[in-house]
Amino acid sequence: MVTKKFQKPIISFFMLMAGICFTEGGAVIFNNGIVRLAWFILAFLPVGLGVMREAWECAMKKEVFSEFMLMTIASIGAFIIGEYPEAVAVMLFYCVGETLQDMAVDKARDNIRSLMEFHPKMAVIVRGNHKVADKPENVIPGEIIEVKPGERVPLDGILTSGDAAFNTAALTGESMPRTIENGHEVLAGMIATESVARIKVTRPESESAVARILKMVEEASERKAPAELFIRKFARIYTPAVIALAALTVIVPYIWSAAGTGFVYDFSTWFYRALIFLVISCPCALVISIPLSYFAGIGAASRHGILFKGGNWLDAVTHIDTVVFDKTGTLTRGVFSVTKVCGNDTGKLLATVAAMERSSNHPIAKAITAYAGDRTAEVSDVKDLPGYGMTATAGGDRWLAGTLRLLDRENVSYPEELKSVPETIVACAKNGRYEGYILLADTLKDDAAEAVRRLRECGISRMDILSGDKQALVDKVATETKVDKGYGDLMPEGKVRHIEQLQREGRNVAFVGDGINDAPVLALSNVGIAMGAMGSDMAVETADVVIQTDHPSKVAEAIRAGKRTVSVVRQNIVMAIGIKVAVMLLGLVGMANLWGAVFADVGVALLAVLNATRIFFGRAAGERSGANRNNGH
């Protein structure tokens, strides 16, 4: 395939080299000008015909200043003034450069898109005692599918076969397997790692998490960054301006000579220099590499579980100077852990309640059993009372464990001050008498403080916490994470007012929340970042950047990804414009020829494309995130 792409350039190259050798070697037949011209025209045609055809088609569409037209004029102009080898060289090296450029771009896009190939071709459906393989798009919500270890989950659903471990790297960028509990959601794109998993499908293939991610990445290329919009406008002005300079390069010296200044005008010399302007006026280095840079930036970020909803947001995160966090589920885990056990016999109370809760999948039950460890008791007649708690018999005694509403319902009296405790309480009673309680609280995420530190390193000058929780709890989290200030007891409108105040102070604000309860603030902030939103429709709708894991340290990684991309874009702009201007000036004073111009044009385009692909293939900033050391909780 590669050989076929270069077939015509190879023919032109050997004919060009032969023509140069015959000319320089004094071949008798090349003393005939017509034969020499015919030879170089034959060398020109394999690479020139296609470009000339494109130039004609563009002209018919009134796209007069296309790169094809520029190269056609430059080559024909070189033939007119007798510079036959350079006429062929202009078109030959232009075509080789375009082919290499296309190959580099295609390779980069294929590599980026390959990350998004989460879709298995088939799904195994369990129907009674039979298993049927079918395409995922044919599976109906409610059906059960089976996924074996090493296989990728084809559809979103609820795990029904017991707790199982899944590799979520394709969605989150994390290498550590994540254990998903029975009855919890499993998303398309995850890979079963240890056991056979059965999943009850909840969404059709077109609405799966993978489909949403693919749609987001595809639509991201339509949201242009300011640099992309600038280059589009610049290209429309740059090419006509350089062509005008090329015309002036021929006309001004003639007028200067005709004015009797004694300046000797040679048309061929100045026309040749004008052709250099035409060759170097092609803006393809910028027009191709800059959109590719943003596309590569979006692809590289998605590999690490960070989805930008457009190139404009890659640019926007580089201007952020203030980050505001929601507390619950963002800096804290959003799951419970036991902080205190209070009662007359705390050991017996904890062991009994843990035994009662051991069969439950509720987050509170998991927290209590984890805290109790090996401590347990013999219980029987365990009953789950949804919305209230549980009852059981232990040692002949009837035990209650649950909310204060459960004790109220059972007419059990308890200390009045329990009603004012801000944390979650599991109140306990035995034979109708209050025994004590287990206090549970949310805990700080392992990388919460690290996330704040990394944001400081990224140049973020202010960080706040906004929460509806009590001020004392917010202050505690603010102290532990070392953010600037925490604001508690806030209603949703209070959060909005806080963001508005920061913006009135001239700050560029990023709000980091769960994407569900904070939609107004996410929409109002300069950049809305939704966390832990792998399966959240609301987050995808309201946020500008979606972080698919629960690690706040990814926020700094997102900012670094934006800075890395914008840095490469700026490098390409400076490099391309700088080299082109330098070649124009050298050509104007006779120190550059068409060979140099075409090499400069092709070379700078290739360098710009390769520099853009470096974003994707290089090590992503922030990849050393401590989040990767966590196991997905």
**SS3 of 282-322:** CCHHHHHHHHHHHHHHHHHHHHCCEEECCHHHHHHHHHCCE
User: Can you tell me the distance from the alpha carbon of 503 to that of 322, in angstroms, rounded to the nearest whole number?
Assistant: 10
Q: 318 and 559 in contact (C-beta within 8 Å)?
A: yes
Name the pairing type of β-strands 144-147 and 178-180.
unpaired
Strands (E), 196-297: 197-201
User: Can you tell me the distance from the alpha carbon of 543 to that of 548, in angstroms, rounded to the nearest whole number?
Assistant: 12
Name the pairing type of β-strands 509-513 and 322-326.
parallel
Task: Report in angstroms the alpha-carbon separations of 307 from 153, 300, 541.
Answer: 20, 9, 12
Kindly give the interhelix angle for 346-357 and 363-372, rounded to the nearest 10 degrees: 130
Counting beta carbons within 10 angstroms of the beta carbon of residue 79, is it exposed (0 to 12), middle (13 to 18) or buried (19 or more)? middle
**Cα 240–246–251 angle (5° rounding)?**
125
Active-site residue identified among 156, 315, 326, 544 = 326
Beta bridge partners of 147: 197
**SS3 of 321-352:** CEEEEECCCCCEEEEEEEEEEEECCHHHHHHH
Contact residues for 497 (Cβ-Cβ < 8 A; gap 6+): none
Residue identified by tokens 């004008």 is 274
Q: 78 and 86 in contact (C-beta within 8 Å)?
A: yes
Tokens matching residue 154: 């084809």
User: Can you tell me the distance from the alpha carbon of 155 to that of 201, in angstroms, rounded to the nearest whole number?
Assistant: 7
**Is 110 an annotated catalytic residue?**
no
User: Can you tell me the distance from the alpha carbon of 554 to that of 306, in angstroms, rounded to the nearest whole number?
Assistant: 8
Residues known to be catalytic = 326
